[in-house]
Structure 1
Amino acid sequence: MPMAIAWNETPHLPKAESRIEAIDLARGIAIGLMIVSHSVSGLVGIRNVPDWGMVPIHFLTKFSSSLFILVFGVALAVAFLSHVNREDWPKRRLKLWLRAVEVWFWYKALLIIEMLPFNTPSEIVDALLYGRFGIWVEILGFYAIALLWVPLILPLWARAPLWGRLAVIALLTSLAAWLQGVSFGGNEILKALLVDHDDHYAWGQISRAPLILLGLLLGEALLRCSGDPLLKRRLTLISLGLGALMIAGFYGLALAGGDVYAAMLAVANNEGKHPPGVAFMLFSLGGALVIFALALAGGDKAARALKPLTLVGSDALKAFIFHIVMIFLVLRFLLEGKGDYSYPQALGVGGLLILGAAAWIWSTRWMARHR
């Protein structure tokens, strides 16, 4: 099967013969980086991180958010896009909507846990009613909403020619940038939910939609490569090359600005994350593509060698719940541990939580099999 795709061609979606563990590995790496970042910011605080921790360690964790959303799109393409024209599509669409309800429930439950150590009950209620936002669990709020609209666009996406799909990605990116200058009638919450806001740590649906759609394209390409090592190698090299070019673009901007270290430190401090900035997204998305390419190149062997990360990536919601509960309910609230950890200790906690999440996922599956 040729790798080249005609501009007028609609998605070619052969059915995956089995679970693609490279996807789980890539998602597991994203969650692992997120857990390390949350452990540091939740137990130490960004202001207390030493310079050597900000760059390179905290700097490199910025790959996680883009990688997480990108792989979300890849997984949707692999598991659902090929079914939109089949009889079982209504059942699968309902499954996605029920998943949205489940994610939304855990988003609100974990929001309470996140805010317990340092917010009043009235502030927590305000956040539960979308009067304000938290920080660490807001990515779940993004997924809960995304899982409502994504099933509606998948049938349209499956019928659209390649040029149309690429145009939608470009138009949404441009629209999100333009909407940053719109006041939304002074409604900061609405703006944050749609396109991000400087004063809120929410993830905008329109501003992040291009990442999901790019993931759909990658997922389609991955399915086309199924069973063909040469095509898979080409996809790997294309993803790796594109990611490397984006990272090079970030460093090009940094050099043009005259201070590369300052540009790296800005990314480590989340400048350009909410709302998305050019420099931040070049680095974050570029790194995400590189990691995705490396996961593809490693394949099943890498997935087995890095089994804890693969396990974490195979059940992202359970891993997310585990690390938020441990950091904010157990360590920060019950044990009153904020400020008691050094930066190296927080990194160690992050590593242990990755292993703990993997062990929790494995043990719950073992118990389910032996009931």
Structure 2
Amino acid sequence: MLNWKEVPQLPKAQGRIEAIDLARGVAIGLMIISHAVSGLVGMRHVPDWGMVPIHFLTKFSSSLFILVFGIALAVAFLSHTQSDDWPQRRLKLWVRAIEVWFWYKVLIIIEMLPFSSPSDIVDTLLYGRFAIWVEILGFYAIALLWVPLILPLWARTPLWGRLATIAGLTAFSAWLQGFSFGGYELLKAFLVDHEEHYAWGQLSRAPLILSGLLIGEALLRCYFDATLRRRLILWLVGSGALMVGAFYGIAIAGGDVHGAMMAVARNVGKHPPGINFMLFSVGGALVLLGLALAGGAAAAKVLLPITLVGSDALKAFIFHIVMIFLVLRFLLEGEGAYSYPQALGVGGVLILGAALWIWLTRWMAAHR
């Protein structure tokens, strides 16, 4: 039975939980497929059979990625917030934020090289505008600055307070969508998303991070007990299925199910978050997360390339952006040179290439 006044009482993880890497790898793999197609072909040139179901299903990626970000923070750091070494662990997260922010800026240059002027690139580097494909990295860099500040408070907050915070932030960010922010579109995009910019709002995505913290807490309590683990998996898959079902219920009520699916595939409701998009994206993310936990270490070994990609998300992200935009699009002038099926194939090869690159760099580091 739930104790609404309960604060986190977290055991230490008994070794690395490979299922988290697998879930993160699935999110990155879907992202790589999407970026390969949009970067090399352009979404305007994708045939309808490619939008639904292929790019319809890639919309699980962003929500799964953010949820796993919160889960990983809970598993690795939440139980240490009351210990003497917390300042050192917090500093480690801030150093990671600087590393991610550095690569975010480098990848902005790489993304924009094929089609932007130097002045536009500099303007983007100075936050005069936002890029597109690498903006998720900018979101994580900033989130890694403020999340460590709230983790100690989160660890002392009763369950009802944590749930109220998630609900309150969701409502607050939706309410802020009605404000113009004095005409400062970039500020609005930075905080709560803006339909004209591809930035990820810190406030509008914070509920997903905090939900990940809750799931991470449950994961630490349940993962190493078979009975509790099954209950957690059923809860995740069931909740996700209900959300996806709600999406289809709304679509059926609107009389155009295929149109609703096409709208999600075309990112309608992604920036800012819309109810249809988020029901489908978050629901699918919860189902995929539950399936990854059900597969556990065995599935992580069978799907080793995906797990490797998920074990070093930053390296995989850098690899695929460099290959798509610097190598294929800029150096080889490959924009428009690929058919849609070829771009899908490139995406699959890049997933395997990222896994190989991560394995190779680790092997080299181990044999120095």
Name the TM-score class by shorter chain.
over 0.9
**Offset of residue 17 of structure 1:** 1.3
Shift in Å, 1:185: 1.0
Take 2:242 and 2:129, find their aligned partners in 1: how far apart are those partners?
37
Matches within 5 A, 1:179-258: 179-258=176-255
Provide Cα deviations, 1:331-364, integer angstroms capped at 9, x if missing partner.
0000000000000000000000000000000000
Q: Give distance in 2, aligned partners of 1:81 and 1:227.
A: 18
Q: Does 1:172 align with 2:169?
A: yes
Partner of 1:14: 11
Corresponding position of 2:300: 303
Residue 12 of structure 1 and its aligned partner are, at CA, apart by: 1.8
- Decide which of 67, 74, 79 is 1:77's aligned counterpart: 74
Aligned length: 368
- Are residues 1:126 and 2:110 paired? no
| 2:266 paired residue number | 269
Tell me the equivalent position of 1:335.
Answer: 332
- Letter paired with 2:104: Y
Q: Which amino acid aligns with 2:344?
A: L
Q: Output the CA distance in 1 between the equivalents of 2:137 and 2:240.
A: 26
- CA shift, 1:237, in A, is 0.1
Which residue does 1:279 correspond to in 2?
A: 276
**1:147-170 Cα deviation digits (max 9, x unpaired):** 000000000000000000000000
Cα distance in 2 for partners of 1:16, 1:363 equals: 27
| Runs of 4+ more than 3 Å apart | none
The separation in 2 between residues aligned to 1:185 and 1:152, in whole angstroms, is 29
Is structure 2 residue 351 aligned with structure 1 residue 350?
no
What letter is aligned with 1:53? G
| SS at 2:198 equivalent | coil
From 154, 157, 160, the equivalent of 1:160 is: 157
- Match for residue 43 of structure 2? 46
Letter in 2 for 1:205: Q
Structure 2 unmatched runs, 5+: none
Distance across 1 between alignment mates of 2:152 and 2:362:
33
CA deviation map 1:2-25 (0-9, x unaligned): xx3300000121000100000000
The CA deviation string for residues 15-74 of structure 1, in whole angstroms up to 9 with x for no partner, is 001000000000000000000000000000000001100000010000000000000000
Q: Is the partner of 1:147 in helix, strand or coil?
A: helix
Alignment partner of 1:17: what SS? coil
Question: 1:289-321 deviations in whole A, cap 9, x for unaligned?
Answer: 000000000000000000000000000000000
Structure 1 letter corresponding to 2:346: V
Task: Confirm or deny that 1:259 pairs with 2:256.
Answer: yes
- Tell me, in whole angstroms, the C-alpha distance in 2 between the residues paired with 1:180 and 1:233: 39
> Quick one: distance in 2 between partners of 1:249 and 1:123?
42
User: Which amino acid is the alignment partner of residue 350 of structure 1?
Assistant: G
Is contact 1:249-1:282 (8 Å) kept?
Answer: yes
Matched residue SS, 1:80: helix
Within the alignment, does 1:98 sit opposite 2:98 as a pair? no
Unmatched 5+ stretches in structure 1: none
Which position in structure 1 is the counterpart of 2:28?
A: 31
Q: Conserved in 2, the CA contact under 8 Å of 1:16 and 1:226?
A: no
Give the match for residue 294 of structure 1. 291
Name the residue aligned to 2:58: 61
Structure 2 CA distance for aligned equivalents of residues 226 and 245 of structure 1: 23
Letter in 2 for 1:132: R
- Tell me if the contact between 1:58 and 1:268 (Cα under 8 Å) persists in the aligned partners: yes
% identical aligned pairs:
78
Distance 2:310 2:321 in 1: 16
Distance in 2 between residues matched to 1:249 and 1:156, nearest whole Å? 34
Q: Tell me which residue corresponds to 1:135.
A: 132
TM-score (norm 1): 0.99
Q: Structure 2 length normalisation: TM-score?
A: 1.00
Contact 1:39 1:350 in 2 (8 A): yes
